[in-house]
Amino acid sequence: MAFVRICSWNVNSVRARLPLVERLVAERAPDILCLQEIKVETDAFPRAAFRAMGYEHEAIFGQRGHHGVAILSRLALNKSESIDWCGLGDARHISAELPGGIRLHDFYVPAGGDVPDPDLNPRFAHKLAFLDEMIEWAKGLSEPTIALGDFNVAPLACDVWNHKALLSVVSHTPVETERLERLRAAHEWHDAVRAVFTAPQPIFTWWSYRARDWRASNRGRRLDHVWLSPDLAPALVGVEIVEEARGWERPSDHVPVLVDLDLGS
């Protein structure tokens, strides 16, 4: 296992976006697809379509509604498992071991609703509790690890279209960004995207459906992340944000994040 291309993408329904996944695979050829918000139960996941694209290995934790995560791979996957964050039974995490003993974790962190007050908004309280549990989890990691997915937090001022305007908007409030930084520091994670597109360069991975012309207004946020444990940081050779996918027919509101790693022989 030398060069490996990994894609993280909140597809906002894998069945609705299957033609777009097929297009991405044809144009970018990722070795591993990590999907979030698949919106389908595990048994109903369209496995045959992914096998036809060459993804023979899978780790899927599906759920009806706005949940569900999946790892589809051309490389062998071992020891797949999920953690029941906050004990709610939500399908928000799946992990698997890649060749070479690298652990890959695919996350769909709760969005948190609209009101950034945990006392008034149970969804926001859930999000903060989820991040708190991730912080404790990260402290105990000892193996080479990749953590990626829709973290639903835009941490830096240049990760949103207007820092001041969004300080009171869920996904960029100080209580969320401070927690995400604590999570990053808990394992000294290497933020792959910002290692290539350094701050203060604006980089977004999500644009609301509410915008009539998302490209013209460009009111985006960087909610999707790929983090590498310190021992994997030297393996990073490239990153691509597939911004054009936001303009494809019937798109997700998130776009794919591609990370290229040279993991040696």
Residue whose tokens read 């399908």: 91
Reported as half-sphere exposure (CB side, CA atoms, 13 A), residue 170 has a value of 19
User: What's the rounded Cα separation, in Å, for the pair 107 and 110?
Assistant: 9
User: What's the rounded Cα separation, in Å, for the pair 126 and 187?
Assistant: 22
Do residues 98 and 104 make contact, with C-beta atoms less than 8 angstroms apart?
yes
Of all residues in the chain, the percent with pLDDT exceeding 70 is: 99
- DSSP β-bridge partners for residue 96: 104
Predicted confidence (pLDDT) per residue in 58-98, tens digit: 999 999 888 999 999 999 999 999 999 999 999 999 999 99
User: Collapsing DSSP states into helix, strand and coil, what is residue 133?
Assistant: helix
Is the pLDDT at 184 greater than 90? The verdict is yes
User: What's the rounded Cα separation, in Å, for the pair 173 and 221?
Assistant: 13
Q: What's the pTM value of the predicted model, to 2 decimals?
A: 0.97
Predicted confidence (pLDDT) per residue in 40-49, tens digit: 999 999 999 9
Average pLDDT of span 215-232: 97
- Surface-to-core class of residue 9, CB atoms within 10 Å of its CB (0-12 exposed, 13-18 middle, 19+ buried): buried
Q: Where are the domains of the chain?
A: 3-262
Mean pLDDT of the chain: 97
pLDDT range class, residue 8, cuts 50, 70, 90: very high
Do residues 58 and 112 make contact, with C-beta atoms less than 8 angstroms apart?
no
Give the right CATH number for 3-262 from 3.60.10.10, 3.40.50.2300, 3.40.710.10, 3.40.220.10: 3.60.10.10
Task: State yes or no: cis peptide before 202, omega within 30 of 0.
Answer: no
Is the pLDDT at 208 greater than 70? The verdict is yes
